[in-house]
Structure 1
Amino acid sequence: MSDGLRRWLQKAGGELGPSDARNLSATEASSVWDSLVEDDADSVLIGSFFTALRSKGASSDELVGFARAARRRIQFPELPTGAVVLGTSRLGKKNHPPLGLAAAAAAVASGTPVLIQSAPHAAGEGVTLADLWERAVGPVLEDSVAVSEEIEAHGMACWRPTSADSSWEVLLSIEDRMGLRSLPDIVCKLLAPPASRVLVASRPGPVLALAGDTLAALGHENGIVMQGIEGSVDPAVSVSTRGMELHSGGKSPLRLEPGDFGLACASEPPQMHEERVEAAVLAQEEALLNTEGPALACVLLGAALMLRLGGRTQDIAEGVTLAREAIESGKAGSILERLKKFD
C-alpha cells in the first residue's frame, strides 16, 4: 500500500520536481484518500503528500474526490427540512471571539434548525465552536443517531464528524505534528450530509470560486462560502465580508455590508478576557443579553445568513429583524439553556 501512496505522491508532487506535478482527477483523488486511510499507510508518505498538495494547491476536482471518499466512510445524521450545516475549521479564532454559537441559537429560535460541525482546536490554534460548546453547553456529540435526536428535540446540535471514522485520528495527528494547515482541515469542512444546506468557512484569498465549484460538484444546491473574521463563519462588522452563494440558478458573489443593515461598527468584537474560551463565553453572553455593540451586530448578521440559507427568509434584512426579536425575547438564550448537559 505504501508503494501505491508513493506513486500518487510522485504524480501530485512531481517525481522530478515541482514542474512535473499535475492535478489529480476526482476519481484519482478518491483513490488517494483510500490509500491515506489504510491501516498500514506510512505516516512519512502521508505527511509528504499533505506538504506536496499544500505547495501545489488543491484543485476543485481533487477536493471533490477527497471529500467523496471521506464521506463514504461516515454515517451522517438525519436532518429536518430547511436545516443549515456549519462547516468550520480546526484553526479557530485567536484574536476575536467565535460567535457562531449565539448566531445559530438566534436562527434556531427563529425557525431554522442548525447543525454545527466542529472539533476542538488544533494544537496551538484559536478557539473553535466545539471549544465554546464544550465550555458553555456540554460534550460535542460523536454519534450520528444522537445528533439526529438532539436536533429533532432542540433544533440544534454540535457534532464532530471526524469522530465517526477512526482513520481520521491518524490524519489529524499528522497535521498537528506538521504544524501546517493542510488537507485534513480542508476536507473536515466538506464532511456535510449529502444535499444539505451548508455555510462553510473559508480562509482569505482568491478561493471562493474554487470552493463554490467544489460544493456544487458534491451535490449542494444551496450553500454559502463565507470569508468571515479569521477564516470563520462570523461576518465582519467593521468592513464588508466576501463570500460565494450557491442557489438553484447557479453561483453568485456575495458581499455583506454591515452598514446596509444598521450594524456597522468601528471595530470587530474584542477579547474581553485573557483566556480565549472565557472571552468567547463573555462575548456570547453580551450578544444574547441584547447589548448593543460589535458582538451583537456580528451575531445578528450571522443568524440572518442562516435564516436565508435555510429558506426561512428571502433577504438578509428580514433575517436581522427576526434574529433581533429572538434575542430580545430571550428565546435565543433559552435554546442554549435547554441544551446544557450540566449546571
Structure 2
Amino acid sequence: MSLSDFLRTITPGRKDLRNLSEDEAFGAFDCILSGAESEITVASFFVALRAKGLTVDELKGFARCARSRATLPCESMPGLVCICSPNDGTQDSPPLDVAAGMIAAAAGARVLISSDRCVPPLRGLTAASVLEHLGASMTWDAAEAEDWVQTTRFAAIAVTGMLPAFLGLRRVREDITMRTPLSTVEKLICPESAAVLIGAQNGPVLGMAVEVMQGLGHTRALAIQGIEGGVVPSLRKRTRGIELNGEFLVSLVVEPEDFGLAWDTDPELPLFSFAPPGRGPGDNPALVKAAGEIVNLVLSGENGPARNASILAAALTLKAAGRCMTLAEGIDSAIEALDSGAARETLERVREQSA
C-alpha cells in the first residue's frame, strides 16, 4: 500500500474514517521513511492524523517502524537509562538534561541522551547545544555512543545518526509549522531493554506516553510533564508524572517544596530578540553559550534554580533506572554526586572521550 491509501483511511469528513491499526501505522511510517513519497503527501498525512487524533496503537506502530530502521546503541546493556527530551528543544529555559544525566551517571547509572540540533518547527536549544559549549560532543555513531557509555557512563547521540531518514523530513516539519507525531516518535528511538525517562507535553498525553513505552516492551519507564514538555520538573509548582514499573503504572507527583528545592522562578534563559524566519533559539550562538554556561555552573557547584531543577531531574533519572526506591533517595544520591565533584569529573571524562 502507498501512503495515499493510508491517508484516505484517516482523512476527516469521510464516512469510513477510522484509526489505523498498529500494523497499518507501521506500514504508513515505512512508506514515509522510505523516501519514496512526495512531501505534499507526507505533510497531508501528518495534518490529517493531527486532526483525527493520534492513538496508542498508531504511535506504537510508528515507533516500531522507526526502531526497525534505526541503528540502536547499547542494546541489552544492563543498567541503561535513556533520557528523551523534545528534539526540537526549548526556547525559554535552558536544557538541563545534560546536567541531570551527568549527575545521574556520577551516581551510578548508565545514561544515554537522544538529541539533535535545530530541529523544526521550534529549532530550540537541546542537549547538543549544551555539549557544544562545554567542549564535549554528541555522536552520530551508535558504536561510538555505546563505547562512551561503557567508558564514562554517559553519552549523547543524534537521533538522525541512528535514523538518517529523519533528516529528509525536516523541510516538511518546517513547512507544517506545528508539532507532528514525529516529535513523539523521535523520543521513542531507543533500545527496548533500556529504562526510559521521557518528557511529555501538557494535556492528556501523559498516560499515552507510558502506555506506548509498555507496549514497546519496556519494563521501566517514567513519563514526566516537565518544563516545556521536557524531563526537568518545575520548581514553582507540582509536576505530574507516571511511572512504569514491571506491569504496574503508578502516578507520581514531584513537589519541590517537599525536598527543600522549591524556587520562586524556574531556570530561565537571558532575553534576546526574536529569531528571524526559519531560525530559532538553537541557531543563536549567544543563547547556545548562555545555556551551556548555566549547565557548566551547575556542574561546578553553583547554587540556584538551575542546580535545584537539575537535581530533581537527576533523581527522576535514577528512579527510572531503578537505582533508588524513592524520589527522596534519588535526590540524596544526586546531591552527593554533585557536591563531591563526581558529576564534574564525569564531564571531564566525556570531554576526553569525545576529543
**How far apart, in 1, do the equivalents of 2:330 and 2:341 lie?**
17
The partner residue of 1:98 within 90, 95, 98 is 95
Question: The residue matched to 1:264 in structure 2 has which SS?
Answer: coil
1:249 positional shift: 3.7
* 1:21 aligns to 2:32 (yes or no): no
Which residue is equivalent to 1:158?
Answer: 156
* 1:281 aligns to 2:279 (yes or no): no
Cα separation, partners in 2 of 1:316 and 1:18, compared to 1, 3 Å: farther
Q: After superposition, what is the alpha-carbon deviation per residue over 1:116-136, rounded to whole angstroms, capped at 9, x for unaligned?
A: 001113244321112212222
Give runs of aligned pairs for residues 22-171 of structure 1, distance below 5 A: 22-78=18-74, 80-123=77-120, 124-171=122-169
**How far apart, in 2, do the equivalents of 1:170 and 1:289 lie?**
39
Is the Cα contact below 8 Å between 2:115 and 2:156 reproduced in 1?
Answer: yes
Gaps of 5+ in 1: none
Which residue is equivalent to 1:339?
Answer: 350
**How far apart, in 2, do the equivalents of 1:164 and 1:220 lie?**
19
* 1:207 aligns to 2:218 (yes or no): no
Give the TM-score taking structure 2 as reference length.
Answer: 0.91
1:164 positional shift: 2.7
Is the Cα contact below 8 Å between 2:81 and 2:317 reproduced in 1?
Answer: yes
**How far apart, in 2, do the equivalents of 1:40 and 1:98 lie?**
35
**How far apart, in 2, do the equivalents of 1:222 and 1:61 lie?**
19
1:209 positional shift: 1.3
Gaps of 5+ in 2: 273-285
Give runs of aligned pairs for residues 253-332 of structure 1, distance below 5 A: 253-272=251-270, 274=272, 275-332=286-343
**How far apart, in 2, do the equivalents of 1:18 and 1:227 lie?**
34
**How far apart, in 1, do the equivalents of 2:34 and 2:101 lie?**
36
**How far apart, in 2, do the equivalents of 1:279 and 1:207 lie?**
31
Is the Cα contact below 8 Å between 2:243 and 2:252 reproduced in 1?
Answer: yes
1:36 positional shift: 1.1
Is the Cα contact below 8 Å between 2:103 and 2:337 reproduced in 1?
Answer: yes
Cα separation, partners in 2 of 1:19 and 1:175, compared to 1, 3 Å: farther
Aligned length: 339
1:140 positional shift: 1.7
Give the TM-score taking structure 1 as reference length.
Answer: 0.94
Amino acid at match of 1:73: R
Cα separation, partners in 2 of 1:92 and 1:125, compared to 1, 3 Å: same
The partner residue of 1:224 within 206, 222, 225 is 222
Amino acid at match of 1:282: E
**How far apart, in 2, do the equivalents of 1:105 and 1:93 lie?**
19
Amino acid at match of 2:327: I
Q: After superposition, what is the alpha-carbon deviation per residue over 1:309-333, rounded to whole angstroms, capped at 9, x for unaligned?
A: 2122111111111111111111101
**How far apart, in 2, do the equivalents of 1:292 and 1:134 lie?**
23
Amino acid at match of 2:100: A
1:199 positional shift: 0.6
Is the Cα contact below 8 Å between 2:87 and 2:187 reproduced in 1?
Answer: no
Q: Name whichever of 54-63 and 17-26 sits farther off.
A: 17-26
Q: After superposition, what is the alpha-carbon deviation per residue over 1:157-181, rounded to whole angstroms, capped at 9, x for unaligned?
A: 0001332333222223311232221
Is the Cα contact below 8 Å between 1:172 and 1:184 reproduced in 2?
Answer: no
Is the Cα contact below 8 Å between 1:94 and 1:276 reproduced in 2?
Answer: no
Q: After superposition, what is the alpha-carbon deviation per residue over 1:40-77, rounded to whole angstroms, capped at 9, x for unaligned?
A: 21111001001111122210000000110111111211
Q: Name whichever of 249-258 and 214-223 sits farther off.
A: 249-258
- The percent of aligned pairs where both chains have the same amino acid is 34
Question: The residue matched to 1:54 in structure 2 has which SS?
Answer: helix
1:273 positional shift: 6.8
**How far apart, in 1, do the equivalents of 2:325 and 2:6 lie?**
46
Cα separation, partners in 2 of 1:58 and 1:336, compared to 1, 3 Å: same
1:18 positional shift: 6.1
Question: The residue matched to 1:84 in structure 2 has which SS?
Answer: strand
Amino acid at match of 1:301: L
Is the Cα contact below 8 Å between 1:273 and 1:279 reproduced in 2?
Answer: no
**How far apart, in 2, do the equivalents of 1:219 and 1:298 lie?**
30
Q: Aligned-residue CA RMSD in angstroms?
A: 1.8
